[in-house]
Structure 1
Amino acid sequence: MKLAVVGGGSTYTPELIDGFARLRDALPIEELVLVDPAADRLELVGGLARRIFAKQGHPGRVVTTSDVDAGVADADAVLLQLRVGGQAARQQDETWPLECGCVGQETTGAGGLAKALRTVPVVLDIAERVRRTNPDAWIIDFTNPVGIVTRALLQAGHKAVGLCNVAIGFQRKFAKLLDVAPGEVHLDHVGLNHLTWETGVRLGGPGGADVLPRLLERHGDAVAEDLHMPREIVDRLGVVPSYYLRYYYQHDAVVDELRTKPSRAAEVAAMERELLEMYGDPALDEKPELLARRGGAFYSEAAVDLAASLLGNGGSPYQVVNTVNNGTLPFLPDDAVIEVQATVDGSGAKPLSVPALDPLFSGLIAHVTAYEDLALEAALHGGRDRVFKALLAHPLVGQYAHAEALTERLIAHNREHLAWA
């Protein structure tokens, strides 16, 4: 089996490598190709990847290349984990929206739109290269904003499934609080990427007893603290929102907070410099503890599980993925991409049925889906007016003056990445 990771020079790639090494029975990789244009980073990460495989007795071969066509040729699956513009672009995404009193974040709001505009054309170009060299390969998208990027891939006819680590993070945390094995915890996880709620926590599978009320009663403080939200919000909702819902539920407070502390991009950039120095140490043969603070926790387990299922090697019977709606949420278009529990096999992902949602949740999902429609149009076709309309439609922007000012800033800060600007 051959797997390719495009964006393989990322500093969190060793998290993925560690999972491949530990879970090699589930995903028997013979050749792993790390593809990245940054040759210096790629060699550091590739060297550590080989040492991790060697230490854990993995027989697979690790190859590094900057040639996308060669890297994805004959691959059974291609994982996409790109950051177009690097941490410098992320720093901008998290900064200029604050000038207009809006949340500065790299995957939602104005910053998320900027990331989508930079990313979608690049991802589609890579996907076309995959299709030319190996049309049967599965594309697993971990590139943010995952929902919009996955929709772009599916709309263009690619074999693609989107993946995020939010759900598996909740599963592991809840399992620990409940003192059960992670595999015993099934989440009623519903929404869009980075706009989800856990409406039930079931033991043993989709039909198991819902222990969410008990979980919140006994561990509500711990859950709320992990979300960086007051417990009152969680109790009144009666569900567990993702961390990203704080940008909606506490918008003004979060803006004030972001204005008074270093950006996450600055923190990550500092961590990356330290991590790359560590990766260059020939004695290092395991992922360093610092990597846990970099992000992407449990990504490796989720990626292995998904790839194993898509490639016919087993995998968990139910997984949270980003896939086409097809009537699962009846208030959304069939071609919308949603993030829900699904069964996954060699034919792709099939969402499980979802009970009718409270309008408190379905209304926001529908609103953000409308924004994502407009965001994808802007990413595919460009144009100042399309950018403006997407910003005006986003619930984290929503005001004419803000949308006008943010449009100018977005284009000014991203001109080198926008072919039409």
Structure 2
Amino acid sequence: MKKYNIVIVGGGSTWTPGLLNSLVKKKNEFPLGKLIMYDTNGERQAVIGEFARVLFKERYADLDFMYTTDKEMAFKEVDFVFCQMRTGGYQMREKDEKIPLQFGVIGQETCGPGGFAYGLRSIRDMIQLIQDVRKHSKEAWILNYTNPAAIVAEAVNRVFNDDKRILNICDQPVNLLRSYGKILGMNPYEFEPVYFGLNHFGWFKHLYDKNGVDMVPVIKKIVKERGFAPADAEQRDKSWLDTYAMVEDMLNDFPEYLPNTYLQYYLYPEYKVSKMDPNHTRANEVMNGREKRVFEECRRVAAEGTVENAHVVHNDAHGDMIVEVAESIAFNKNSLYVVIVENNGLISNIQDNAMVEVTACLGINGPRPFGVGKIDTFYKGMIEQQLAFEKLTVDAYFEESYNKALKALTLNRIVTDAKKARKILDALIVANEGYWPELK
């Protein structure tokens, strides 16, 4: 069986230990010859890298492993690039979340003004990364987790439209599928989902079991009777438990489909902002919680020289998905995943060049997506407004256009007011000096 060479971009991420653990779990099904971790922050990456040395010594002894800040060493002759960058780190995420709150608007990592700011920072680095990878490994598959995935996918598609080995993915649909499986007592890998929308802005229309029975009506009934929680609720911070709990509200108001949890920010912006603390946002929760836990545990493992009794993995779904996607491509398994692709009629009554999130078979030639046909007026209107925001955001980046940026924020359902949009934009411009193009 062929052994594959992969590089993890963003090796210093708190999500990396879980990804490493997933590679260990899959070492027989998806064997590796070489694994490289790459990050521009060498000090941060070294903590995770030394944990990885101990992990592989005990559980993957024949793996050729290294971590580096050198692009050529990282990207030369690799088969897969797993990308999870965070331009600006948690310090900039904190600003993304707190600046909008100063103006009474939701501050969130990937939604609204926070996602807008993060997206404008991510585009430049993502384009540079792809160019660097293609310089050294022209045929490598680039599997991209970098947020905000919708904006990043739109920008990447404009620049690298002919590159068919770039795939933008998100683990939230998989998290939801695992949660559905838990409440149904079923194996989520046996589901056949029918999903449509944009990233962090979509719905499960159907969810068929292995006998072809649609489980969506059953899930709706259970959620209305018992509420909803993530499959890994015991590992989640309180903000995530609150996020999943809102699914019940969304189903009460809009009962047709099972919603992505992120839709709560767009459907209930006034309610959600009223529950947010402008002095302590999700970024603070992560920095004081998961961030500290993961790095402290990695240091402990490295010092003790064993991964026995290690508690460093957070959210198996994140790591498992990207490894399983690579496995499905490498071995032409044609497994089903929700991925981001160019529309081209998949949702037949929105524009073809939209980057939509739908179910696809994944094999050696990449995704073969399934269409969902026409969608009704409410969902079409929601998607088209959000799509216009995403496209205008990317326009603003490439055209260095203040006006396009203002239009994007004004259209976003989380903002909606042009005077607020201008104030938020001006504050974000100051905060993102050096990260954004100069908007004129």
Deviations 1:96-149 (A, max 9, x none): 111222111110111111001111011101101111111111111100011221
Among 395, 400, 421, the alignment partner of 2:418 is 400
RMSD value over aligned CA atoms? 2.0
Which residue of structure 2 aligns with residue 74 of structure 1?
A: 77
Deviation at 1:381, TM superposition (A): 3.0
Among 369, 387, 401, the alignment partner of 1:369 is 387
Contact 2:406 2:421 in 1 (8 A): yes
SS at match of 1:95: helix
- Measure the CA separation in 1 of the matches of 2:60 and 2:130: 32
Which residue of structure 1 aligns with residue 5 of structure 2?
A: 2
What are the residue-to-residue correspondences of 1:89-108 with 2, within 5 Å?
89-108=92-111
1:217 aligns with 2:235: no
- Measure the CA separation in 2 of the matches of 1:201 and 1:26: 27
- Measure the CA separation in 2 of the matches of 1:56 and 1:230: 39
User: Hey, which bits of structure 1, 4+ residues long, moved more than 6 A?
Assistant: none
Which residue of structure 2 aligns with residue 112 of structure 1?
A: 115
Q: Give ranges in structure 1 of 5+ residues lacking alignment.
A: none
SS at match of 1:30: strand
Structure 2 length-normalised TM: 0.89
What are the residue-to-residue correspondences of 1:35-184 with 2, within 5 Å?
35-57=38-60, 59-157=62-160, 158=163, 159-184=165-190
Which residue of structure 2 aligns with residue 231 of structure 1?
A: 248
Deviations 1:285-328 (A, max 9, x none): 26954643xxx5401111012111222x2445211111111210
- Measure the CA separation in 2 of the matches of 1:348 and 1:259: 43
Contact 2:196 2:204 in 1 (8 A): yes
Letter in 1 for 2:393: A
What are the residue-to-residue correspondences of 1:197-276 with 2, within 5 Å?
197-204=203-210, 208-224=212-228, 227-229=244-246, 231-238=248-255, 239-259=257-277, 262-271=280-289, 272-276=291-295
Letter in 2 for 1:240: L
Contact 2:201 2:383 in 1 (8 A): yes
Deviation at 1:380, TM superposition (A): 2.5
Letter in 2 for 1:369: L
Contact 1:52 1:286 in 2 (8 A): no
Letter in 1 for 2:23: F
Letter in 2 for 1:204: K
- Measure the CA separation in 2 of the matches of 1:100 and 1:334: 35
Which residue of structure 2 aligns with residue 285 of structure 1?
A: 307
Contact 1:331 1:366 in 2 (8 A): no
SS at match of 2:432: helix
Among 11, 16, 20, the alignment partner of 2:14 is 11
Deviation at 1:357, TM superposition (A): 2.0
Deviations 1:151-173 (A, max 9, x none): 22222223211111111111111
Contact 2:250 2:264 in 1 (8 A): no
- Measure the CA separation in 1 of the matches of 2:437 and 2:121: 9
- Measure the CA separation in 2 of the matches of 1:304 and 1:223: 31
Deviation at 1:92, TM superposition (A): 0.5
Deviation at 1:27, TM superposition (A): 1.7
1:303 aligns with 2:303: no
SS at match of 2:367: strand
Letter in 2 for 1:285: V
1:23 aligns with 2:45: no
SS at match of 2:32: coil
SS at match of 1:396: coil
Contact 2:207 2:216 in 1 (8 A): yes
SS at match of 1:338: strand
Change over 3 Å in CA distance of 1:380–1:27 after alignment to 2: farther
Change over 3 Å in CA distance of 1:339–1:345 after alignment to 2: same
